[in-house]
Amino acid sequence: MSRPRPTAGTPRRVGVYGGTFNPVHLGHLVLAEEVRERLGLERVLFVPSNLPPHKWARLPSGAERLALVRLAIRGNPAFGAVDLEVRRQGPSYTVDTLRALARRQPVPTELVFLIGMDAFEEIATWHEAEHLATAAHFAVFPRVGHPLGDPRLHAPESWKLTGPRRLRGGLRAWRTSAGTLVWLVPTEQLSISASAIRARVARGASIRYLVPAAVERAILRGGLYRRGATNDRGIPPRDRKGA
Ligand code: ATP
């Protein structure tokens, strides 16, 4: 696998890919690899977010979802997994995660936050939205039903986006007043969703070829996503009121 090396004048750039990853699947991995390659990122860090415990299914804890991500990316030195948000318990704000990740980098690094167009359309409502542009660049990719569109329609006004600059490979880039960039990255999408995978496991259908083999084995061995199995605290649903 080719690993882009920074050339003189190009800063080290590291991607940050947040999500519930419940579970991580090939759609996530293909997307991360494509953005990494197209933007010349040195690495992509997967950051599973916390989720409230679920009532009836054997849903994995944050630590278990992180473990699945680790299995999924094993053997790819350009991918990493970060436990920041699952360790914090409770909700985490992206701006805080980006600041914490920036502090952790051993050498000067620019972070690039990977975000689907569906989420980018809501970006102005995020916590400290105006400061997000200071914390990272943004790589926006299309999602089903959310084609790439002018980011000025959604970004906070304080970002004062200027552009676009048209780049190779159909990329377009806008610049924020903080000097960071918002790239629109026209990626292909595998139509795989975590919710469809959970539904398949719950009804006993195969998830082979939708997730890496090691992830499939861990899900089946751990009895994750099985409908009617014990909940996060190990209590069978029939023993609980209102289950
Ligand atoms: P669900 O189906 O439960 O909504 P999801 O896979 O869409 O799950 P997340 O795990 O939170 O949800 O996704 C993490 C990130 O991956 C999000 O930015 C989402 O836009 C993106 N993503 C999800 N599925 C795909 C896919 N098939 N191809 C590319 N990106 C995806």
Query: Whole-model pTM?
Result: 0.90
Going along the chain from its start, the domains and CATH numbers come out as 12-189 (3.40.50.620)
Strand partners, 140: 115, 184
For residue 190, give the ligand 1 atom closest to its CA. Answer: 27
**Best substitution site from 25, 193, 209, 225 to test ligand 1's pocket, by max atoms within 8 Å of Cβ?**
193
Query: Does residue 198 have its Cβ closer than 6 Å to ligand 1?
Result: no
pLDDT digits (tens, 9 = 90+) for 183-201: 999 998 899 999 999 999 9
User: Measuring CA to CA, which residue among 136, 128, 106, 105 is closest to residue 39?
Assistant: 136
Query: Does residue 188 have its Cβ closer than 6 Å to ligand 1?
Result: no
For residue 193, give the ligand 1 atom closest to its CA. Answer: 2
What does the mean pLDDT of the chain come to?
90
pLDDT digits (tens, 9 = 90+) for 111-143: 999 999 999 999 999 999 999 999 999 999 999
Assess whether pLDDT exceeds 80 at residue 25.
yes
Confidence of residue 9 (pLDDT cuts 50, 70, 90): low
Phi, psi of 64 (to 5 degrees): -70, -40
CA distances, 220 to each of 72, 128, 211 (Å): 15, 40, 12
pLDDT digits (tens, 9 = 90+) for 195-226: 999 999 999 999 999 999 999 999 999 999 99
In terms of C-beta density within 10 A (0-12 exposed, 13-18 middle, 19 or more buried), how is residue 45 classed?
buried
